[in-house]
């Protein structure tokens, strides 16, 4: 049986992705720091699908624990999907280093720490797939969220380099840029409906990207065009825009 390790498994997008793989017979390893919520998800998924579901405590910012976490997994996964992240508060982070550090660690440093270990393992085994959820916010820094965006830009570049490195070993890496998604993390934001995906759309798109070995996935294709246009705006003009 194939297993998928889902890091940050308590997020809405992660749960929707777990559903897509479970309904196709994949075993699940759900990892997150909220063990109580993981237990609820495990019961839910086991009651809906006849697949094994394991849970494991994982803290993205506890870098020293990552090697032990991966070594002690109950089964070895053929696929790893990384969902954890932290939107944070841009204005607070501009004067509060702890908030800035949390944004950077949750979206970049923690991802690199755990994915380095998994990438080395997959490379040695000559097989596997890594799916990393980044963000369109990483494609150009904006004054409203440049700390979050810069961390995601780093993650996007990391995943791109990892994809190039691991291709020779038969390991594929997918970069996911969901765009706006209606989740608990964004429920306080007034998102435009035509540009906002549901978690279910994200889960289906990720499963499709895994099957097709897509390199970079925009869940709603319109986001590729939007970001192309945003990146073309001259800096002199961009500085005057309220983005």
Helix H, strand E, coil C: the string for 132-191 is: EECCHHHCCCCCCCHHHHHHHHHHHHHHHHHHHHHHHHCEEEEEEECCEECCHHHCCCCC
Q: CA-to-CA distance for 62 and 113, rounded, in angstroms? A: 9
Sheet holding 79-82, edge to edge: 53-57, 27-32, 3-7, 79-82, 128-133, 171-177, 216-218
Determine whether 148 is an active site residue: yes
Active-site hit among 148, 207, 210, 218: 148
Catalytic annotation, residues: 148
């Amino acid at each position: 049986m194939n297993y998928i390790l889902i890091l940050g498994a308590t997020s809405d997008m992660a749960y929707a992705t777990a559903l897509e793989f479970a309904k196709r017979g994949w075993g699940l390893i759900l990892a997150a720091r909220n063990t109580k919520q993981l237990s609820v998800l495990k019961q839910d998924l086991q009651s809906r699908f006849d697949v094994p579901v394991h849970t494991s405590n994982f803290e993205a910012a506890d870098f020293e624990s990552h090697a032990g976490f991966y070594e002690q997994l109950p089964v070895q996964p053929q696929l790893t999907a990384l969902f954890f992240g932290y939107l944070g508060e841009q204005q607070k982070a501009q004067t509060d280093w702890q908030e800035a550090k949390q944004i950077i660690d949750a979206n970049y440093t923690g991802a690199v720490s755990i994915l380095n270990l998994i990438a080395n393992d997959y490379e040695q085994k000559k097989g596997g797939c890594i799916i990393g959820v980044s963000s369109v916010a990483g494609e150009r820094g904006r004054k409203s969220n440049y700390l979050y965006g810069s961390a995601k830009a780093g993650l996007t570049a990391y995943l791109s380099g990892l994809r190039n490195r691991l291709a020779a070993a038969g390991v594929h890496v997918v970069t996911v840029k969901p765009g706006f998604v209606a989740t608990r993390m964004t429920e306080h934001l007034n998102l435009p409906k035509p540009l906002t995906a549901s978690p279910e759309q994200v889960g289906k798109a990720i499963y499709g990207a895994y099957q097709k070995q897509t390199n970079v996935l925009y869940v709603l294709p319109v986001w590729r065009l939007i970001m192309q246009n945003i990146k073309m705006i001259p800096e002199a003009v961009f500085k005057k825009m309220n983005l």
